[in-house]
Amino acid sequence: MAEPGLIDFEASHVFERDASLPPRLVAACDGCWVTDSAGRRYLDGSGGAIVSGFGHAHPTIVAAIRRQLDAGILDTNSMFFHTVQQEELARHLCELSGGHLPRSIFCNSGTEAVESAMKLARQYHVERGDARRVHFVSRRSSYHGNTMGALSLSDQSRRPLFGPYTFPAEQVPAYFPYRYQAPGESDDAYALRCADALETAIQHLGPGTVAGFVVETVVGSSLGVMPTPPVYLERVREICDRHGVLLILDEVMCGAGRTGTFFAYEQEPVKPDIVTLAKGLSGGHVPLSAICCTEPIYRAIREGSHKLALTHTYLAHPLACAAGVGVMEIVRGTDLLQGVKGKGDLLLEMLRARFAAHPHVDFIRGRGLFTGLELVADRARRSAYPASEYIFRKVRRRAFDLGLICWAATGTAEDGGDFVMLAPPYIVSEAELEQVVALIGRAIDDVLG
């Protein structure tokens, strides 16, 4: 007999996702809290998988979905019909980009958006008569999705099981100063060294053969939140321009306000050719993702074959786009995003105070309400726990048992490198932030001492 609220794997007919974290049966979601069927409440310190930026069951988003349900427009195919919500959402994204990204394609998941961005980049080059451009470059410590194309761009540690089915994308080092910055090397010098690896990769593959460079504006689940100095993307943009390579920014996790601006790249000195969005784009209420691109990319296809080579049954689903419009009502009609940076700074301050002398927590970093902390065996040596110890799972499980939802993973070191990610909804209160810090502190102490 399973304890109240806990799913019994043996009695269930669902193929469970991860046996190391037995899920509980959810009964209610509201704001920053999730309640299970036994009445236990959980503070959502990571917005699930960094999804619920606006809180669970936000009334504005729920109302937008309900209006669409009441209208009964739910199953139109985007080849034959557009909806008002699709047009409105695309307009909002164009305006939020300052007109730089005037065209959008709407899909269902971040993975699908990245895969579609690759196809869009390839089609753009072919339409322009440049079919030699077949290669993509990404970074080693990255995660771009779980279909074969997106997985091919992701860190190799993410894809050993499916390696035989992925293509060999060229990968360059990611920016992670905690482990890989040379002694005495300045932050900018290290960032430029990482950026210049793109030039090396292009030369290796052959100038004129690279279609795009895919990079997370702020790295998420592979490095536990990692922004770069402004010089990094500035150099990357210059290299891409010089070689005719499209700069594709993956903002599936870091976009939609998570870092304090709607597009994370707004805090960088560059503009991309393509951006992918998902997760927070609908606040997690309905599956929705977007691929936003510049006018030259659109024109090359519109004036070439006239047909976008991306076909999915649920492109621009009316209910999903309605949820996205609900998000836009919040983003553009309230000052919620203006408070994200301040709340994020407060969270970092609280975490650094809580773990100031902790022997097993180091390198607390973040941007906006997107934070990470490194779990280390020895802080003085910056030594990682071996991957075989699964420290991140133990901390995540203990936090969950204490009533905190957090996101944890490994991979910042050659063998291991555990970290915890905290990314509560933007509506989080100061008192709730204090609870997040107290609960993660207790979980880490219980597991690591």
3-state class of 316 per DSSP?
A: coil
The share of the chain scoring above pLDDT 90, in percent, equals: 89
Do both 309 and 374 map to the same domain?
no
432 and 405 in a single domain? The answer is: yes
Residue 397's H or E segment, with its range, is helix 391-402
- Tell me the β-bridge partners of 137: 170, 213
Q: Give the residue-averaged pLDDT of 130-135.
A: 97
- The pTM assigned to this predicted structure is 0.96
Burial of 99 (0-12, 13-18, 19+ CB in 10 A): exposed
Reported as a pLDDT band with limits 50, 70 and 90, residue 201 is very high
Distance in angstroms (rounded) separating the CA atoms of residues 63 and 83:
17
Answer with the one of 288, 307, 333 that is the final residue of a domain: 333
The predicted pLDDT at position 2 comes to 61
User: How buried is 175 (Cβ within 10 angstroms: 0-12 exposed, 13-18 middle, 19+ buried)?
Assistant: buried
Residue 325: pLDDT over 80: yes
Confidence of residue 214 (pLDDT cuts 50, 70, 90): very high
pLDDT of residue 188: 97
- pLDDT of 1 over the 70 cut: no
* Domain C-terminal end among 333, 365, 398: 333
Q: For residue range 256-290, list pLDDT tens digits in order.
A: 999 999 999 999 999 999 999 999 999 999 999 99
Q: How many CB atoms lie within 10 A of CB 151?
A: 24
Inside any domain, residue 159 = yes
Task: For residue range 352-402, list pLDDT tens digits in order.
Answer: 999 999 999 999 999 999 999 999 999 999 999 999 999 999 999 999 999
CATH number at residue 244: 3.40.640.10
Whether 82 and 106 have beta carbons less than 8 Å apart is answered as: no
Give the pLDDT confidence score for residue 155 in this predicted structure.
84
Looking up residue 391, the CATH number of its domain turns out to be 3.90.1150.10
Residue 438 forms part of a structural domain: yes
Residues 312 and 355 both lie in one domain: no
pLDDT at residue 21, rounded to an integer:
81
What's the chain's average pLDDT?
95
Last residue of one domain, picked from the residues 304, 333, 362: 333
**Structural domain of 298:** 61-333
**What are the C-alpha distances in Å from 99 to residues 31, 262, 326?**
32, 14, 21
pLDDT digits (tens, 9 = 90+) for 151-178: 999 986 777 889 889 988 899 999 999 9
- Provide DSSP, 126-158: HHTT-TT--EEEEESS----SSHHHHHHS-GGG
| Residue 439 pLDDT exceeds 60 | yes
